[in-house]
Structures are given as structure tokens and as C-alpha cells.
Amino acid sequence: MIDLADLLAASAQVSAAPGGRAPDAVAVGGLGDPGTVLLSGPGTGSGPESLDAHLDRWAGLPVLDGAQVLALLRAGGLDGRGGGGFPLARKVAAALASGGPPVLLVNASESEPASAKDATLCACRPHLVLDGAALVAAALGVDHVVVHLHRGAGAPVDGISRAVAERRGGGHDVVAWTVSLGPDRYVSGEASAIAGYVHDGDARPRFAMAPLAVEGPTGRPTVVVNAETVAQLGVMARIGPRAWAALGTGGSPGPRLLTVAGAVDRPGRVVELVGPGTVGDVLAGTGCTAAPAAVLVGGFAGTWLSGDEAWQAPYERSALACLGAGPGCGLLGVLPHGACALVETARIVGYLAGESAGQCGTCVAGLPRLASAMSSLADGTFRRRGLRRIETLGDELLGSGACAHPDGVVRLVRSTLEVFRDDVVRHLAGEQCRGADHPPVLPVPVPHPAGAGPRPQEHFS
């Protein structure tokens, strides 16, 4: 048993992180590349790392009791990596304070279509995910963990299932594992939708008066934690919270996983950023030689930044917040010069409108209208007073739903109108769009027709 005090003291003496790296060194790399931490080890194509290989590289997981895990989370300042960025220590503390045995769910479903970081971890480093999940279970005092993935995900499901079987066989953990497979829809990755699906098989978000960590669909406090977040904890427990935090920046402790999409050398590639890097450092590590036209930061429900602004921006929560953006799910979508952001955004909004779970009136009525407004803005058939309509729709959609889906779409639309004001003016004036003939840049799935498609219940049951 490792004493947490020892762990803290030991890590305080390690001024630089493992491998003797200089404190300000920046590394950007994919699976198996030098300088990476979570992605260190075998390269792409090697499949899920076995338990033996994992333990060879990382040694055993320190045995910590609940209070020690909570202290570790607080000392490291681990923030949620699924999108919200909520500190895990506060979630755990809220669940413990709410009474009743908590429910622990690991969200490995990664519903963001362009993002692949959680899928990569589950497919290639599943034991790091399970290690961290076991620690959160200890913090919550629970002996059962549900890992939730999308049914059709393939390699991530295989990776986690194999890892769970290995651990069961060797009696490796005190916790029991359940692998849950749910429908592959955008909002079914929302925390209350996952908690609800595991409880009663309905994967739509739930309205609740209390936060999940206080009272979930079962009536018990429910902690839903992202797969990367727990994998980070698996690293932190071994190297200590200070050394772990030093792999990031003051504003964003720890290493960060990102997915790059659009105009990069390998779209869809997952990279890890270690050290105080900028968005430009990440893009330079993925084949961009100069600032692109723009970067979509944080996911489809994220924020556009102009290429120059993004290139300089430190990739950390506080710095991005100053620009009105956030790391979100870790997506960087690169728009090349010559492509039209209005066209790209219209495709995304069209897809997102079709992903409404069809439960809340304003979301059901408002999102398709917002989508059609954005598509007529993109194809130049839009009139000036339409802008006021977009504004009104945005006000009505914000905060209107049981989940934050409408809010995310409004955020994307508003950042588009702000960052690409000149293009909006050109489109309104009926000028020929520069990017009309450009092939699609971001990997936006074909939208489900809103209203015209199958009933939501059919998708979600």
C-alpha cells in the first residue's frame, strides 16, 4: 500500500515529469510517439495492449483508499475531458455528500462524430481506462462499474471487452465490470441519457431538478465520468499529482488528448499534447505549416476561431475561455483557405438538428428552423432580416431543453456569425461564394431528417 503523503512528497521532488523532460518542453504525438504519456507504448495497428504489457510499462496500480483518491484528484486538479470540464473531485464529493450508494458509469461512447480520442484509448490502452475507473470506484466506495460504449463502435468495444475479461480472469480488481452497449446517436452520449439508458433502456436525455451526482434516474447519486478523464487518473496515481499536473499548464493541468479533423495530413488522427503548447503547436504536429483560415475548437457544438487567433492561442481551458472557446471534447477542425465556413457550419447544424431527441418542444420546433436559416445563408438565398430571425431563434433555444443540445448548436451558430462576419455580408449581398465548389472539409454524418424520420423511440430503444 502506497501512502498518499509519500506519493505527494515524492512527486514534489520530481521537478520535471517522467523521462526527465524539461518543464517547458512541448511534445505533440500520436500512439507510440516519443514524448507522449497516455499514448506512449505500442504504435498504431498493435491492437489493445494486454494486461501484462500494460503492467510491464506502468507497474501495478497503487492501492489507495477512497479518501486518498479524493485527495489525489484535488491535488492534481483533474478536470473532466468529455466536454463540460467539471472537476472530477467535485463530482465525487457531491455524490458522497448526497447519501445512498452511488452509481458509477464510465462514458466511453464518444458521441461526437469527428472525435476519436476515447475510442483510441479504449481500443489501444483499455487498461489505463479501467485502472482509473477502479480508483474512482474506490473513492465512491462502490464495487461495480459500468463502462458504456456505442454498440457499433467496433475496436473500442473489443478493446474494453478483452481487457475486462483479462482482469476478471486474473482476479485483478475488487470491482465487478459491466460493459453496456447503447445506440449510436449524438445526444445519447449525454450524461443523463447514459445514466437513463443503463437504468431503463431509454437513451434520451432526462429532465431533472437535481444534478446527476445528487440524484440520477435510479434515485441514487450517479457519477458519469469520461473515459479519457479516468485514464488520466490511471497515470496520475502512478506518477503523482504534481508530476501529472506539470505535464500540462497552470490553466489546464495534465497532458491533453485531441482529435484533428479537416485540412490536416491525417484527418481523424488522435494526438496527445504534453506541455504548454498552442493550438498552432498541435496543428504544426499534424501537417499544417501555417495558420489555416479557421479552426473549429471543442467539437461540433464548439466555437470557430479565426486561423491566426487560434494558431497563437495556448491550448488550455483559461486561455481558450478568453476567446469564448473551450477544449470541449478535444476536437480541432481545420478549415483550409478557400473553403467556406458558412457552408461547413450549415452542414453541421443540419446534422445536429436531426439529432434532437424529439422530446422538448422548442428544440424540436426551433432547431430545424435554425438549420434551414443557416443553409439558406450558406447558399446565398438568405435575406437580411433573416439575421434577426437567427438571433431570436437563438434566444428561444438557449436553456430551453432538458439537455444542453440546443445551447451547443446556438453557440456554434453565434460564433460563426461573429468570426465570419465578412463572409456573411458577402453571402447576403449575393456575391459568388468562394468556397461553393470546395469539397466538404469536416466529417459530418448524413443528417437524420428532423420530423420526417423514424420516431425517436425507435432510435433510442
Partner 1 sequence: MTTVVRIDPTLCRGHAICALYFSDGVEIDQWGFGRVVEPTLTTRRAVRKALRAAAACPNGAVVVTEHGEAVPVGADHPTDTAGW
Residues found near ligand SF4 in the complex (CB under 6 A): 187, 204-205, 356-360, 363-364, 401-403, 405-406
Closer residue to ligand SF4, CB minimum distance, 159 or 196: 196
Smaller CB separation from ligand SF4, 270 or 403? 403
307 vs 406, beta carbon nearer ligand SF4:
406
- Cβ at position 196, least distance to ligand SF4 in Å: 10
- Binders in 213-232 for partner 1, by CB under 8 A: 214
* Full 3-state SS string of the chain: CCCHHHHHHHHHHCCCCHHHCCCCCCEEECCCCCCCCCCCCCCCCCCCCCHHHHHHHHCCCCCCCHHHHHHHHHHHCCECCCCCCCEHHHHHHHHHHCCCCCEEEEECCCCCCCCCHHHHHHHHCHHHHHHHHHHHHHHHCCCEEEEEEECCCCHHHHHHHHHHHHHHHCCCCCCEEEEEEECCCCHHHCHHHHHHHHHHCCCCCCCCCCCCCCCCCCCCCEEEEEHHHHHHHHHHHHHCHHHHHCCCCCCCCCCEEEEEEECCCCCCEEEEEECCCEHHHHHHCCCCCCCCCEEEECCCCCEEEEHHHHHHCECCHHHHHHCCCCCCCCEEEEECCCCCHHHHHHHHHHHHHHCCCCCCHHHHHHHHHHHHHHHHHHHCCCCCHHHHHHHHHHHHHCCCCCCCHHHHHHHHHHHHHHHCHHHHHHHHCCCCCCCCCCCCCCCCCCCCCCCCCCCHHHHHC
Q: Which listed option, ligand SF4, partner 1, none, makes contact with residue 187 (CB within 5 to 8 Å by class)? A: ligand SF4
Q: State the residue number with the nearest CB to ligand SF4.
A: 401
- Residue 209's binding partner among partner 1, ligand SF4, none (Cβ under 5 to 8 angstroms by kind) is partner 1
Closest among 250, 245, 316, 329 to 282, alpha carbons compared: 316
Instruction: Name the residue nearer to partner 1 (CB basis): 207 or 338.
Output: 207
Q: Build a one-symbol-per-residue string for 329-368: x at contacts with partner 1 by CB under 8 A, - elsewhere.
A: ------------------------------xxxxx-xx--
Distance CA(183)–CA(202), nearest Å, equals 10
Q: Would you say 307 or 350 has its CB closer to ligand SF4?
A: 350
Site string for partner 1, 180-209 (x = CB under 8 A): ------------------------x-xx-x
Q: How far is the CB of 331 from ligand SF4 (least distance, A)?
A: 19
Query: Which CB sits closer to ligand SF4, 277 or 401?
Result: 401
C-alpha to C-alpha distance for 63 and 137, rounded to whole angstroms: 12
The answer to whether 96 contacts partner 1 (rule: CB under 8 A) is no
Half-sphere exposure of 123 (CA within 13 A, CB side): 19
Rounded least distance, CB 357 to partner 1, Å: 9
Specify the residue, 179 or 208, whose C-beta has the smaller distance to ligand SF4: 208
405 makes contact, choosing from ligand SF4, partner 1, none, with CB < 5 to 8 Å by partner type, with ligand SF4
Rounded Cα distance between 156 and 137, Å, is 21
**Is 407 a binder of partner 1 (CB under 8 A)?**
no
Give least dist CB 399 to ligand SF4, A: 10
In the complex, the smallest distance separating the C-beta of residue 395 from ligand SF4, rounded to whole angstroms, is: 15
Contacts with partner 1 in 35-54 (CB under 8 A)? none
By CB under 8 A, residue 399 contacts partner 1: yes
Which grid coordinates belong to 327? 477544449
- Candidate list 400, 414, 434, 445; residue touching partner 1; CB under 8 A: 400
Least distance between ligand SF4 and beta carbon 10 (Å): 46
399 binding partner (options partner 1, ligand SF4, none; Cβ < 5 to 8 Å by kind): partner 1
210 binds, among ligand SF4, partner 1, none (CB under 5 to 8 A by kind): partner 1
Residue closer to partner 1, measured from CB, 200 or 207: 207
Distance, in Å, from the CA atom of 187 to the CA atom of 347, rounded to the nearest integer, reads 17
Return the residue of 33, 158, 379, 396 that touches partner 1, per CB under 8 A: 396
Query: Residue holding cell 504544426?
Result: 284
Nearer to partner 1, 206 or 347 (CB): 206
Cβ-based neighbours of 306, under 8 Å, separated by 6 or more: 293, 294, 419
| Binding residue count for partner 1, defined by CB under 8 A | 19
- The smaller minimum CB distance to ligand SF4, of residues 270 and 364, is found at 364
Binding site for partner 1 (CB under 8 A): 204, 206-207, 209-210, 214, 359-363, 365-366, 392, 396, 399-402
